[in-house]
Structures are given as structure tokens and as C-alpha cells.
Chains A and B, each alone.
Chain A
Amino acid sequence: MLIINCPYCGPRDQSEFSNGGEAHVKRPDGSKEIGDREWGEYVFIRANPKGLFYERWVHTHGCRKWFNCVRDTSTDEILVTYKLDEKKPNLNNFKSVVKTPSGEPEVGSGNFTVEK
């Protein structure tokens, strides 16, 4: 469980929020010709990285506003939240904060208790 800092209401319990998947996925403009591939990627394809991830959340049981955040999917830490019309932060800014669970390989289960 996390504390999420709603850009409108301030820090609130995770149970008030809903996750909306990857952020900054642009909906193709319907008034123009859209190729099958372009549309298919918009509808079906989302990134699922281990590590830093731009993500959408909505304050469902609060102000009902959508906003974006940067979450580290390996630690669940939410590093920053920002409004939809704000510029997305550069992920390089967070390099020093980010770490995979200590001793854990970059990809894997993280089931180690003793440093190898």
C-alpha cells in the first residue's frame, strides 16, 4: 500500500485511487487516416518495464481527477506526481533514487536474502 500525492488533494491513501496504466499514450486523431498498425498499437500495446514507468492514476474516491506519475515498478515507489498538462519529468532525474531490491538481479524474482 502506498501513499499517493494527488496533485489536487495532497497525500492520500492508495485505496482512494485507481490505476490507469501507461501514461503519455496519445490517442490517434480520428479525423485523419489511421493505419491498422498505428491504431492496433494504441489500443492493445502498453509498455510493462521493470523500473521507472510513466503511469496514469485517478483519484476515484476523491476529486476524480486524472494525473500522471513516475513509479518504480520494482519497488512500487511513486517518485513524482504531476498534472496532465504538466511536462513529463526526465527519467534521468531519478537515477540516484532508483534501485532494484538490493542484491536482486536486474530481471528476476528478487528472492535472495543474502548477498551473492
Chain B
Amino acid sequence: MKSINLKENQFIQFHQKISFKFDGVKYFGYKGDTIASALLRNNINLVGRSFKYHRPRGIYTCGIEEPNALVQIISEYSEPNTRATIKKIYEGMEIESQNRWPSLENDFGSINNLFSPIFTAGFYYKTFMGPHKKFWKNLYEPLIRRAAGLGKPPKDFKGISNHIHHNVDVTIIGGGLNGLLAAKSFINSNYDVLLIEFEEQLGGIINNSNKISLIDNKEPKDWLKETIQEIEESKNVKILKNTLVTTYNYINHLIAIEDRFVGYKPIEGKVNSTLHKIRTGHTILCNGHIERFLSFQNNDLPGIMLSSSFEKYMCRYGLAPSKEPVIFSNNSNSNSLVYSLIKAGLKPKAYIDSRSGKEIEPNLFDLIRRNDVPLYTNSQIKGAFGNKKIEKILVEDSSGALNEVKCDCLCLSGGINPDVHLFTQSKGLLDWDERDLTYKPSKPFQPTITLGSASGQFNFDNLNSDVNEKLKTFKVKNLDVKLELNTNTKYNIEKLWEVSPQKKSLWAKSFIDLQNDVTTKDIRQAITEGFDRIEHLKRYTTNSMGTDQGKISSINALGIVSDLLDKKVNEVGTTIYRPPYAPLSFSAIAGRNCYEFYDPERKSPIHNWHLKNGAIFENVGQWKRPWYFQINKDESMHDAIQRESINVRENAGILDGSTLGKIEIKGEDALEFMNLIYTNSFTKMKQGSARYALMLGEDGMVKDDGIICKISDQHFIATTTTGGAATVLGCMEEYAQTEWPNLKVFMNSITEQYATFNISGPKTREIMKKAFPNIKFSNEEFPFMTFQFHEFNGIPIRILRASFTGELGYEIYIPSNSAPKIWDNIQSVGKEFGLAPYGTEAMHLLRAEKGYIIVGQDTDGSITPIDLGLSWMIGKSKKDFLGKRSLTRSDTIREDRKQLVGIIPSNKADKLEEGQHIILDKEIKSPVPMLGHITSCYYSSTLGHDFALAIIKNGHSMIGTKAYASTSSMSTTGVDIVKPVFYDEDNKRLVS
């Protein structure tokens, strides 16, 4: 195929040369060229190998509908499957062809083409079944994956995308003739209007073809310039260019992707695409139409392209891909290509029309006659032939004789379809038009308006009245635009979906989906095998399931199927076009919600100290909490935890508990509210005292726990678990607003406002005395579960005597800003008493020795306070609290519920594992009745052996008996079921 450059135009500058590389070879294009137009300029048309059969493929179209010319952009993080027909070139661009090895010209995989008769629909399902399931996973799938497919996924993708939200009254999609007219009517109206155009220039058909000769007696080019200026100067119409609407959701919500680097290499670290999320009152679809192709033998050869695409290359890129293309059509849409060719001083090699001479437009007839173009009416192309490019075609003329025509380019037109993808995404309904042989939008489901060829108006006759009528509801100014055309106006088409080949076996070379290598033979076979429903047929053959969603071919498939089934196309129906309209990269969807912005990290005020002191962190919700502290690099986690826990039992330890949720509750009715929220009764509680409390869901299951400090009947401070803080506050607010709006109560999170230090161990009292010399810490003056407010060096602090380790303990609450100072002070005074920090893991071990539960670890949303043995915490005399009634439901009073128990190995040297089952038999013989499982399990240096907490069926009555725990090596360990407390059962250390 020899291409020639035509005249320069406003889109392409012949003096601005750009160099780029394709498969390692350097070529030149011009500024404004796409990869496809630049390759065609260099007479390259073989650009890739097909998905399944590795057939040579060329450039088929000039736009987003391209099924074949997909390339990998090496210079942009190796972005695969880029449409060569829309991606603009820039200096130094590196492009590679896809799915070929070792090279595009000599592709090893093309051997598949020889076996194509056996690679038909369902081939993989039927063939690669035996002899063993493993064969698929280990042999077949890796082999097939290597051989099939398109581009390679990029390894190190760094694209950055921003998200922008719009909220407008009207969105016009498509900046072609109708889009511009619609936008023009809205100029300076009271509507906020967004005009979205996929290409770099507005104008659509005005730029892409020679169909229109004059608009309002002006050159189309000049009219366009004036109109765009008018729109740009208006206050209420915003134009987004290089932006593709990919998705049309419910409630007029649109998603569009804007390419920020059209014609330039994306700069690393800069935003290279913007995802627009648009909410709009009305959507006006002016997204035009798509030309479809025709099926015949070898209709996929490089050198074959759509006729409107050929014309677009001429008008937009000043490039004729061939000097003398053959044109094959069944409709009037290709008229303007003949006109454009002759206007450019070129001549079609032949014009082949399936319509009879009578139906062909008279002025086309004249044009062809006057220029001596060989004309075949009532004729069809039987097949195309050539080695990696089209060399000749076989034409069956009206007499049935076969004529060979030599050519280097064939332009096809099988008719045009309104681009209904977005309309059907919006859930609008389509209707088959028997005259124009296409699906057209009929009933919109949302406030959607379609204009121009997107609505199925393929003629320009009713241009003004159509726009005026459909925009009537907006009461905007009426249009009166005068159009003059170069070619005949009435759209005319004759039914032709495919041309039968000379031999039946050659259906296998007649393609219906170029991207997925589906042939018309596959369609016939699917129907024979019973997959005659269109959605089944689509999935069985993979027709129109490529990234192009069969834009140029899916209607043809429906036509073929309806003929084969002898049904009307409307009865066959159509498959559903799903978003996105064109591939959308994950990085665009992710936007900035990735890497460090994926999820916020929350850090305690003491975080920097932890960093300096060897803390290894664990994530608790969004919080970073010290898991354990390494005193040197060689210390293992096990050693660190045992060291920390022994130190708490023998000396004293300090834990940063700042992440604990803290909620302040105030108001006249605070006491009543707290009584309703928690299981405990707070009425008789003294001011200045604290209580361990449980919160249930309405189903009676434990939801959260914490310590409630009662400052007065009108003022409480509650702590929550680290992960449950937001839920607990949300729950309190919900009930305060929805169920008990009569209660005067307010609540607020004070988690970040206060840091919390938990100091515990036998030497804690000495440390506290030294750290806070003005406070009296004796057991009488500061008893267990009481709290006091103090001032220390001008800092207001609250000290609570409570413990989660079973040792004497205090919790200090300090305003976050002053916390590091006090933390440092405690560290320095505590040194002489052996005070050391401990992390969450040692804290878990210490609390488990004492039998204290962790909500979410030892409970799982199906455990009541009674199951935990915490009935004493239920204020039974209270009339009501969250979940109270559920505690007496038949299910919750069952005796054989899973209940919390302690587990120790019968042989103390044995190990236990978290999550393992408790069973009654030593032998594991399925089915094994499972009693429950181990929820927490640790080795305790204090006890000298492993121990665990477990929830098991009927557990409370099993205490004192023996059972078995399963192990990960499929054996069992004998265990004793004991009370869930392993240390200081009578709380002597806690309260003295």
C-alpha cells in the first residue's frame, strides 16, 4: 500500500517533523499525526498479530472503534493495547507491535492459523479437559496464555490521575455538528452546560468528511471557528476536550476520562489523566455514529479499512492511505469518499456496490461515469487475497461471473449505526429500524436526549427542527442553520451482512470479530450446538467481547444470526453494552487514593519515642501501635514479649494506650442514657468511680467494652476498644437521635485530644509517687476503680486506677500536646524501678493470663455476656438497655451455647495453636463433632507453659474435664478445660 500526502490543513503541519520508533526502527511523522496515520504515511500497514490465530493485521479504522491496531507504548511505562488510531505521536515515542514472536514479519504463532479449522468456538472447553485436572493448571493454561492474548501488562506503572467532580444542568456528549448546535442554543442561558469532546478539535463530521459544503453560506471551516469562539466566550458553557465519556450510570451520573498529554510524552510525577465524575440534570447524546464492516473471506487482511476512516485520514491528516483504493459498499455513506478522492485528484480503482444500478444515487453514478471508475453494481466481493497485505480481490458481478481485481487497498462500508453504547448504558431501550437496518434509541429511561446520527437521524433534512423540538423543554433560543451538502442526502442501504465464500470450509476465514478472532463459522457452529440465544452465543464464541466491544461488527453478527434463525433482528435482540465504553486504566479509577493516600495512618503523640526505642509496629485499624520493643537487633519477638511481660509481673511496665477510643457524654439525662446504652447500671455508682462496662447489639451479642468514669450524673467519660471507637460513638448518636430524642444528652469523641499511658506492675506505686509527688497513691486514698483530676506542672491530668494486666495499675490521661513531656518524665523516674515499655502483644499475653477478653478476638458477634461468664455485669433491675430483651430469647438461654473457658495442655510441654478446634476424640475421624475453637493462645513464662482461651459448646459445665485440641499437623493434643483465669484468681495483686 503506497500512501501519499495531500495538502496541509489546520490539524497537520508538514513542516513540523516528529521522529518515533516502531519495533526498533526510526520513522518520521508530522505534528498532529496519530500512530496509525504516521505509520500509514511510512507505508506500514502490518501493525500486529491477531489474538488467537496470529494472523497479520493492519489499521482498520481511524478512531476509537479500532479492533486491530493495538500497540504497546514502550516510552510510557510500556502501556499495552493502546489504539494506534487515537494515540498521537510525539518526539522520541517508542512503539512495539503486540502478540508476535520473534518478530512481526515472521511470527512463530502464526502456525495457529494453519490449524484454525480446529480452533473454533468452545475449542478450549472441549479439548483441554483431560487426562487430569492438574494438566489444565500446570500445562495447558500457561501454554495458551503464552500463545494467546494482546499486550503485556506493564511492570512498573506510574500513571497519576486526579479526580474532578462536576455538578451541571446539562451535559452535551460529543462536539460534532449536533453537539455544537446544542451548545450554541444554550449560550448565555441560565443553564450550566458541559460540552465534552473526545478529540482534540471540535467539529466531528465537519472535520472528518467532505459531506457538508456550506453552513449558513460560509465555508464549514469558518463557520466552525466562529461557533467555537461564540461557545468559548459564553459564560455558562464549559468545554472539555480530549475527554471520553466511558460510563453512563443511573441518575445521570457520567464518568469521563481526560488525557492530559495529547501529543506529548507524559512527564513522570505529573498528573497524566483526569477522571471527571459528572452529575447532570440532562444528558444530550451527540456522539454520532460508527461505520460497520462486512464479512467475507479474508476480510481481515492488512490494507482493508472502513471507507469513512479512509476519508477521515484524507480530511484530518492530509493523507491518502492509497492512491487507488477499491470501494465496496451496500449503502450511500461511502458516496462522500468517492467525492473526496476525486476532489483530491485521485481515483478509486473500482467501485463495487451490492445495490442495483437503480438504487445507487444518481449524482454518485454521474461522478463515477465522468471519471471512468470501473463500476460493479449488484456485485459482491467473494474474497481478498495476498501475503500479509491485500493484493487482489475476487468480485462476483451481477451475472455471477468472478472477476479478479488487483488492488493495494480496499475500503468497506456495511452501513452505519448510531453509537448507542452510552444510551443503552443509561438503560434506554433500542428499536430495530428495518429501513436503515440498525438499532436506534427509542425510549430513554433517564432524562436523556439524543441528537443527530446518535439518534438515528442519518440525513440532515430535519437538522433544525430536530434540535429545536428536542430542546423545547429548556426554552432556549431556536436554531435556523442552513446546510448545503456535497453529496446526496438520503441515507440508503441494502441488506448485506456477509458474502458467502466459494467453499463452505472458507467460512472459517470470514471474520466477524477481528479483535477476538471470531469467524462466521463460529457463529454457525454455536447455533448448531444450541447456543442460539444472543447472550449465550456471545459468551460461547466471545463475539464482541474484546476491548472494542465489537463496535464495527456486533450489529453484523445480529444480522447473520437473525438470518440463520430466520427471525427478525428485533426478536434476536442485542447483547448489552456495558461500561466502560473504552478501556479505562485502573490508575485513573484509583486516582490519588493509592500509596500513602490509600488509607490515613493514625499515630499516637508518643510515636516518635517509639520509633527511637526499637518499637515494631502493628496496625490496629488505622492506628500504628507498638507491637513489641526490640532491645537489640538479635532479640526475637518471642523473647521480647516474654521479657516485657515478666517485667510487668516483677517490676513495672508502661503501655501507650492513646489509641483507645474516648467518648465524653454530657447532659441533663446523661445518666439515663448511659444506663440505656451499656449493660451495667450506673445509678448507684459513686462520683469519681469507674466501672468496666459492656455494650451489646440489639441481638444481645457483645459489641464493645470499656471503662466508664462517672464524673457526675450529668457527665461521663467512656473508653472503647481501639477499633470500635467510631462504631460506638455512631451507635450512641444513632440511639440519641432516633430512639430517645427526648433525652437531653450530647456526646463527642475525645480520642485524639488525650493521650493515655497504662502503667502497671508491683512497683507502679513507687514510680507514680515519684513522678507525681503532690498526689497520694495509697490504697485508701486512691482505691481500685476510682479516678482523680490533678494538675501537674500546669498540665491538667486525670488518673484512673485500673488495670488490664492483673497487676496494680494506673491509667494517666493527658492532653495530647503535653503527653511526650510527661512520658519522658515517667521514663526517667521509672528507670531505677526497672520500668520498661511494653507493646500490644505482651499486653495481650498479660490480660489472657488474667482471663480478660478482647472483643473481636475472644468474641465474634455471636457471644453474649452470659457466654463469657460476665452475667454480673448485667444490670438486671434496669427496665431497658440495648439488647436486654435478646438475653432472654430462647436461643440465648440455651444451655449448650458456646462459652468461654480456659485451656491448658495436659502435658505441660505440649504446644497449643490459635484457631484450632477442641474435640472429644483423640483420633481425627471424619466427621469430627467440633465443640469450638481456641480464640487466644500464648506461652506464659509466668506459668511456664502454653495456655489458651477458647469458646466451646456447653463450656461452663465442661470445666474440670479433658478434651483434645487439633493441631496444624493433623494430630491432637490432650488438654484440660479449666476456668478462664490463670493468674491471681482472687485479685490480690489488683486491689492492694
Chain B, residues 858-891, CB within 8 Å of chain A (1/0): the string is 0000000000000000000001110011100110
Chain B residues 707 to 734 lying within 8 A of chain A, measured CB to CB, are 730, 733-734
Complex partner residue of A64 from B430, B733, B739, CB under 8 angstroms = B733
Chain B residues 897 to 949 lying within 8 A of chain A, measured CB to CB, are none
Are B699 and A30 neighbours in the complex by a CB distance under 8 Å?
no
Are A76 and B429 neighbours in the complex by a CB distance under 8 Å?
no
Given contacts A20-B734, A30-B880, contact A113 B251 (CB under 8 A): no
Complex partner residue of A30 from B427, B442, B879, CB under 8 angstroms = B879
Distance between Cα atoms of A44 and B881 in the complex (Å): 17
Are A85 and B741 neighbours in the complex by a CB distance under 8 Å?
yes
Are B251 and A76 neighbours in the complex by a CB distance under 8 Å?
yes
Q: Which residue of A lies closest to B729 (CB)?
A: A64
Are B443 and A66 neighbours in the complex by a CB distance under 8 Å?
no
Say how far B180's CB is from chain A's closest CB, in angstroms: 29
Chain B, residues 731-770, CB within 8 Å of chain A (1/0): the string is 0011001110100000000000000000000000000000
Chain A residues with CB under 8 A of B442 = 115
Chain B, residues 414-442, CB within 8 Å of chain A (1/0): the string is 00000000001001111110000001001
Q: Which residue of A lies closest to B423 (CB)?
A: A113
Say how far B454's CB is from chain A's closest CB, in angstroms: 16
Are B889 and A39 neighbours in the complex by a CB distance under 8 Å?
yes
Listed stretches B27-35, B140-148, B324-332, B568-576; interface member:
B568-576
Chain B residues with CB under 8 A of A27 = 698, 739
Distance between Cα atoms of A39 and B885 in the complex (Å): 7
Q: CB of B279 within 8 A of chain A?
A: yes
Q: Which residue of B lies closest to A2 (CB)?
A: B251
Are A114 and B432 neighbours in the complex by a CB distance under 8 Å?
yes
Are A113 and B424 neighbours in the complex by a CB distance under 8 Å?
yes
Interface size on B, residues (CB 8 A): 43
Are A110 and B431 neighbours in the complex by a CB distance under 8 Å?
no
Given contacts A36-B890, A101-B445, A102-B445, contact A113 B430 (CB under 8 A): yes
Chain A, residues 6-40, CB within 8 Å of chain B (1/0): the string is 00000001000000100000011111001010011
Given contacts A66-B738, A84-B738, contact A113 B429 (CB under 8 A): yes
Are B737 and A102 neighbours in the complex by a CB distance under 8 Å?
no
Chain B residues with CB under 8 A of A110 = 427
Chain A residues with CB under 8 A of B445 = 99, 101-102
Chain A, residues 34-59, CB within 8 Å of chain B (1/0): the string is 10100110111000000000001010
Chain A residues with CB under 8 A of B576 = 111, 113
Are B880 and A114 neighbours in the complex by a CB distance under 8 Å?
no
Chain A residues with CB under 8 A of B427 = 101-102, 110
Distance between Cα atoms of A13 and B167 in the complex (Å): 10
Given contacts A76-B250, A114-B432, contact A84 B741 (CB under 8 A): yes
Distance between Cα atoms of A39 and B699 in the complex (Å): 9
Q: CB of B253 within 8 A of chain A?
A: yes
Are B249 and A1 neighbours in the complex by a CB distance under 8 Å?
yes
Given contacts A3-B167, A13-B165, contact A39 B250 (CB under 8 A): no
Q: Which of B431, B576, B885 has the most CB of A within 10 A?
A: B885
Are A39 and B573 neighbours in the complex by a CB distance under 8 Å?
no
Are A114 and B277 neighbours in the complex by a CB distance under 8 Å?
no
Chain A residues 43 to 92 lying within 8 A of chain B, measured CB to CB, are 43-44, 56, 58, 60, 64-66, 75-77, 84-85
Given contacts A101-B445, A103-B443, contact A114 B733 (CB under 8 A): no
Distance between Cα atoms of A58 and B889 in the complex (Å): 30
Chain A residues with CB under 8 A of B741 = 84-85
Chain A residues with CB under 8 A of B885 = 28, 30, 34, 39
Are A103 and B429 neighbours in the complex by a CB distance under 8 Å?
yes
Are B428 and A114 neighbours in the complex by a CB distance under 8 Å?
no
Chain A residues with CB under 8 A of B443 = 102-103, 115
Chain B residues with CB under 8 A of A94 = none
Say how far A104's CB is from chain B's closest CB, in angstroms: 8
Q: Which residue of B lies closest to A40 (CB)?
A: B889
Say how far A20's CB is from chain B's closest CB, in angstroms: 7
Are A113 and B574 neighbours in the complex by a CB distance under 8 Å?
yes
Chain B residues with CB under 8 A of A39 = 885-886, 889
Chain B, residues 30-60, CB within 8 Å of chain A (1/0): the string is 0000000000000000000000000000000
Chain A residues with CB under 8 A of B879 = 30-31
Chain B residues with CB under 8 A of A85 = 741
Q: Which residue of A lies closest to B698 (CB)?
A: A43
Are B574 and A56 neighbours in the complex by a CB distance under 8 Å?
no
Q: Which of B432, B739, B884, B886 has the most CB of A within 10 A?
A: B886
Chain B residues with CB under 8 A of A2 = 251, 253
Say how far A78's CB is from chain B's closest CB, in angstroms: 8
Q: Which residue of B lies closest to A75 (CB)?
A: B250
Distance between Cα atoms of A76 and B250 in the complex (Å): 7
Are B737 and A65 neighbours in the complex by a CB distance under 8 Å?
yes
Say how far A55's CB is from chain B's closest CB, in angstroms: 13
Chain A residues with CB under 8 A of B429 = 102-103, 112-115
Q: Which residue of B lies closest to A34 (CB)?
A: B885
Are A43 and B424 neighbours in the complex by a CB distance under 8 Å?
no
Q: Which residue of B lies closest to A1 (CB)?
A: B253
Q: Which residue of A lies closest to B739 (CB)?
A: A27
Q: Which residue of B lies closest to A11 (CB)?
A: B167
Chain B residues with CB under 8 A of A20 = 734
Given contacts A43-B886, A113-B576, contact A3 B279 (CB under 8 A): yes
Are B574 and A30 neighbours in the complex by a CB distance under 8 Å?
no
Given contacts A103-B443, A114-B573, contact A36 B428 (CB under 8 A): no
Given contacts A66-B738, A76-B251, A84-B738, contact A113 B698 (CB under 8 A): no
Complex partner residue of B573 from A75, A99, A113, CB under 8 angstroms = A113
Chain A residues with CB under 8 A of B884 = 30
Are B430 and A114 neighbours in the complex by a CB distance under 8 Å?
yes
Chain A residues with CB under 8 A of B439 = 114
Q: Which residue of B lies closest to A23 (CB)?
A: B738
Distance between Cα atoms of A2 and B251 in the complex (Å): 7
Chain B residues with CB under 8 A of A76 = 250-251
Chain B residues with CB under 8 A of A56 = 738
| 5 more CB-based (< 8 A) A-B contacts, given A30-B885, A31-B880 | A36-B890, A43-B698, A44-B699, A66-B734, A84-B738
List, sorted by A's number, 6 A–B pairs whose CB atoms are closer than 8 Å: A66-B733, A66-B737, A77-B251, A103-B443, A113-B430, A115-B429
A residues adjacent to B (C-beta < 8 A): 1-3, 13, 20, 27-31, 34, 36, 39-40, 42-44, 56, 58, 60, 64-66, 75-77, 84-85, 99, 101-103, 110-115
